[in-house]
Amino acid sequence: MITVLCPYCAAEVVALEEIDDARIDAYVCAECGREFSVAAQLAYERGQLYYQAAVEIEQAAPRRRVKEDTPVFTDMLRNYQLAYSGLRVAFQFALPPLYQEIALEILADIMQRFLKRDLVSPLESSYWTSRVTAWKTDAEYTALQHKLRAGEGNFLRRWRWRMRRNQLARVLPKLRVRIAELERGIAFTELPYPQR
C-alpha cells in the first residue's frame, strides 16, 4: 500500500488503492481542505528519492572521482536519470510552489552534473538554470511588493526596495522570453513557466 501525504499539512490523506483515476489530479485533503495532485505528489517524491540516492552514491567516495566504467557510476547515473524523469513528470501536473522551487533546483543540479560529463546539451542545462533564476527573481520581486505595500522600513530602505523592484520588473520579462526560446529549442512545450 502506498500512502500519500498532503504537501501542505503533511497529513496522511489517502492510500493509492482508495483513489480512482478521476480524482488523481484533484484530491482534496480532509485535514486542511486544500486541493493537490496525487500524481504530481507521487512523481515529486519518487524523483526526490532517486536524487537523494544518487547524491549518496556520489558522496560515498568523496576522495576519488566515480569512474565512468564502474558499476557505481552506472548506478549513480541511473538514479540521476530516474530523478530527472520523475521530476519532469511532476511538472506536468500542479505542484505546490515550495515543491516547484525544490524540484527546479534539483533539476538544475542534475543538469549541471550531466553537463560536466557531456551527457546533455548546454541548451538543456541552461533551460533549467534559467528556470531557477526566474523563480528566485519572481520570488524576490513578490516579497518586495509585499514589503512596499505594507509600508515597512524607513524612507531610505523603501527607496532601495523600489529601485530593486523596478530592476527586477525589467529583468523578469527578459527571463521569461529566454525560457520560452529555450523551450522551443529543446521542445519542452509541455512544461509551462510556473506562475505565482
Q: Is residue 23 part of a domain?
A: no
How do residues 139-193 score in pLDDT, each as one tens digit?
999 999 999 999 888 899 999 999 999 999 999 999 999 999 998 888 754 444 4
pLDDT of residue 59: 85
pLDDT of residue 195: 47
Q: 58 with 23: CB under 8 angstroms?
A: no
Q: Is residue 104 part of a domain?
A: no
Q: 13 with 2: CB under 8 angstroms?
A: no
> Whole domain around residue 148: which residue ranges?
121-196
Q: Is residue 162 part of a domain?
A: yes
pLDDT of residue 15: 57
* Predicted structure pTM score: 0.79
Q: Is residue 194 part of a domain?
A: yes
Q: Is residue 115 part of a domain?
A: no
The cell numbers describing 86, all together, are 520523475
How do residues 30-62 score in pLDDT, each as one tens digit?
888 888 888 888 889 889 999 999 999 888 865
- pLDDT above 50: residue 4: yes
**More confident position, 11 or 52:** 52
Q: How many domains does the chain have?
A: 1
pLDDT of residue 144: 95
**More confident position, 28 or 167:** 167
Q: Is residue 15 part of a domain?
A: no
How do residues 62-114 score in pLDDT, each as one tens digit?
556 666 777 888 898 999 999 999 998 888 887 888 888 899 999 999 999 89
